[in-house]
Amino acid sequence: MSNTTIKILAKELNLSVATVSKALRDSHEISTETKKKVLALARELNYVANPYASSLRKRRSNTIAVVLPEVADSFFSQAINGIESVAQDKGYHVLIYLTHESFAREEAILKEFQSGRVDGILISISGETSHSDHIKEVIASGIPVVFFDRVCEDVETAKVITDDFECGYQAATHLAKQGCKRITFLSVSSSLSISNNRMEGYKKALADHQFKNSQTDILFCGNDIDENYRLIINALKKDKRPDGIIACVEKFTNSIYLACNELTLSIPGDIRVISFTNLQTALILNPPLTTVTQPAFEMGKTAASILFRNLGKNSTALKNETVIIPSVLHVRCSSS
């Protein structure tokens, strides 16, 4: 609905549209005086170039897509901050899409990108995503993709992750050293790399600390809060209930604390708790929560930087590199 176009500027100044266009882009073909006149009028008439016209012609949109499972999670909202900060810096626009953990949505969203709506994609895959054809397809169509956090390991492109295995290991080791004998790991999805790597770290730690293999205890939770609560309650009611619990993602935290309340189990007296979370309120929970805190902002920022670094090039293919930014274990009362 913009009113003033290049054509109007041109007519007003008795110049051709070509000249005006070049002047606006500060082309060396145009004299300084002409540029000044054009700029002056453009400012006066509040001219802003129509992005659709220029995107069509230039075959680039100056827009990226961010595809996420959800936004109501401190990791993702902080990651968005990181992404947005570089995007704004580079003059790029950010389209946001939520899959709500649904593979079908993810597929539909990605499919749309074959049209050239975006110059690149940052994605953290859904919990249902177990294969990556849709992603390979969009890459094949010439659009670079950078994964962050939740990656598809079999897709050859850039990935920004944290040291999930290591953190799973550290968390479980910490609990073991605190004397826990029965440590339950709460997995969010059996197909997600983050979930599985954290779990493998947990398993390795148990093995290293003389746990029998039969003593690993994985609880598969989902996206339904109430259902998760029930699952956790059941686990805590078991005959040999866990004395340690590791939440693979933030959203389990509330359910764990509430379940312990319900069953009047004391944290950390009866059960020690660690969550993978970036919640600021971890400090002021009852009791303060031991967390594995991911470098969410940095991961978003890094993923975006890698993407932008490669947008200029015509070589569309991103290197199959994996950047690992370490998380840190913050030990607080809930585990000690």
Partner DNA sequence: TTTATTTACGAAACCGTTTTCGTGAATAGG
Partner DNA sequence: CCTATTCACGAAAACGGTTTCGTAAATAAA
Question: For the CA atoms of 172, 173, 174, 179, what is the dihedral angle to 10 degrees?
Answer: 90
Distance between CA atoms of 96 and 250, rounded to whole angstroms? 21
Question: Least distance from C-beta 184 to a copy of itself, angstroms?
Answer: 19
Question: Least distance from C-beta 278 to a copy of itself, angstroms?
Answer: 9
Question: Least distance from C-beta 94 to DNA, angstroms?
Answer: 20
Work out whether strand 183-187 and strand 217-220 pair parallel, antiparallel, or are unpaired: parallel
CB-nearer residue toward a copy of itself: 180 or 256 = 256
Distance between CA atoms of 264 and 262, rounded to whole angstroms? 5
Distance between CA atoms of 32 and 30, rounded to whole angstroms? 7
Categorise residue 21: left if φ over 0, alpha if ψ from -120 to 50, beta otherwise.
Answer: alpha
CB-nearer residue toward a copy of itself: 78 or 184 = 78
CB-nearer residue toward a copy of itself: 1 or 32 = 1
Q: Do 263 and 236 contact (CB within 8 A), yes or no?
A: yes
Question: Least distance from C-beta 66 to DNA, angstroms?
Answer: 24
CB-nearer residue toward a copy of itself: 121 or 160 = 121
Positions that interact with a copy of itself (CB under 8 A): 1-3, 46, 48-53, 55-56, 59, 61, 63, 70-74, 77-78, 80-81, 84, 88, 93-98, 105, 111-112, 114-117, 137, 141-143, 253-254, 257-258, 261, 279-281, 283-288, 316
Which of 29, 154, 226, 239 lies at the binding interface for DNA (CB under 7 A)? 29
Q: What angle do CA 152, 158, 160 make, to 5 degrees?
A: 80
Which of 36, 40, 44, 56 lies at the binding interface for DNA (CB under 7 A)? 56
CB-nearer residue toward DNA: 1 or 72 = 1
Distance between CA atoms of 271 and 262, rounded to whole angstroms? 14
CB-nearer residue toward DNA: 28 or 240 = 28
Question: Least distance from C-beta 110 to DNA, angstroms?
Answer: 18
CA 83 to chain centre: 9
CB-nearer residue toward a copy of itself: 92 or 202 = 92
Q: Count CA atoms closer than 13 A to 137's CA, side-chain side.
A: 14
Using CB under 7 A as the binding rule, whether residue 31 contacts DNA is answered as yes
Work out whether strand 290-293 and strand 272-276 pair parallel, antiparallel, or are unpaired: parallel
Q: What angle do CA 249, 255, 261 make, to 5 degrees?
A: 140
Choose one: 48-56, 135-143, 160-168, 261-269; the region binding DNA (CB under 7 A).
Answer: 48-56
Rounded to 10°, the helix 193-208/164-177 angle is 40
Question: Least distance from C-beta 95 to DNA, angstroms?
Answer: 19
Inter-CA distances, 248 with 219, 232, 306, Å: 10, 13, 27
Question: Least distance from C-beta 142 to DNA, angstroms?
Answer: 12
Binding site for DNA (CB under 7 A): 2, 5-7, 14-19, 21-22, 24-25, 29-31, 33-34, 47, 49-50, 53-54, 56-59, 115
